[in-house]
Amino acid sequence: MSVALAPGLIHHPGYLDGPACRRLAAEVAAVLAASPPFTPRMPRSDKPFSVRMGGAGPVSWVSDKQGYRYQPHHPETGEPWPPIPPTALAAWEALAAYPAPPEACLINLYAPGTRMGLHQDRDEEDFDAPVLSLSLGSPALFRYGGLARSDPTRSVRLMPGDALVIGGPSRLIHHGIDRIYGGQDLLADDILPGLLPLGGRCNLTLRRVTKAANSDAD
């Protein structure tokens, strides 16, 4: 079952069932054991994000005083990022409708009480590919608007196991996380101990960063 929240913004509630969530959480725990979460900082102001992040793939996203960018190595350890978790790659193959694999998997770790302000995902070269989001742990209130920051917004609750495709005419919409609803998690209590406090949430976003050679529709 899927719901078009807007053209190109497709919500797949419960896309991953309980066992698949646990499998993905175990894969994420292995990524983060090899490549520890870090705290990104705002460009210029150097203010820390409240969300902690990890990454996987040939490149992943970092932010610091110098700006936002994708890079092939972890900002603190200097090591290459681990491979993208197989359960996440399978979801991309099933849902992304794009002829090449993702190049980055951002792993956002939300402690209870953290949020992510309204923003666009536009540091990629290829907006033909969607961003695919997979949620684990506590539910979250996802806010989405339009291409202009001032456009009206709506909200949807993202539950553990939900997939959200942010693509097509919605690829560059503003979006953010207003709230984490602790208390019902599949993940934080027993699968990512030490990485997420009780009631935390983990969100993966898979992205294509460079244009695939065969991606041109025309």
Query: How many C-beta atoms surround the C-beta of residue 10 within 10 A?
Result: 21
Please select the residue that binds ligand SIN; options are 15, 38, 81, 142, rule is CB under 6 A. 142
* 121 belongs to the binding site for Fe ion (CB under 5 A): yes
Contacts of 60 (CB under 8 A, 6+ apart): 54, 70, 71, 74, 81, 104, 105, 106
Please count the residues of this chain forming the interface with Fe ion, following the rule CB under 5 A: 1
* 56 belongs to the binding site for ligand SIN (CB under 6 A): no
* 170 belongs to the binding site for ligand SIN (CB under 6 A): no
CA dist., res. 127 & res. 121, Å (int)? 9
What string marks each residue from 83 to 122 as x (binds ligand SIN by CB under 6 A) or -? Answer: -------------------------x-------x------
* 124 belongs to the binding site for Fe ion (CB under 5 A): no
Phi-psi region of 19 (alpha: psi -120 to 50; beta: other; left: phi over 0): alpha
List residues near ligand SIN by CB under 6 A.
108, 116, 133, 142, 158, 175, 177, 203, 205
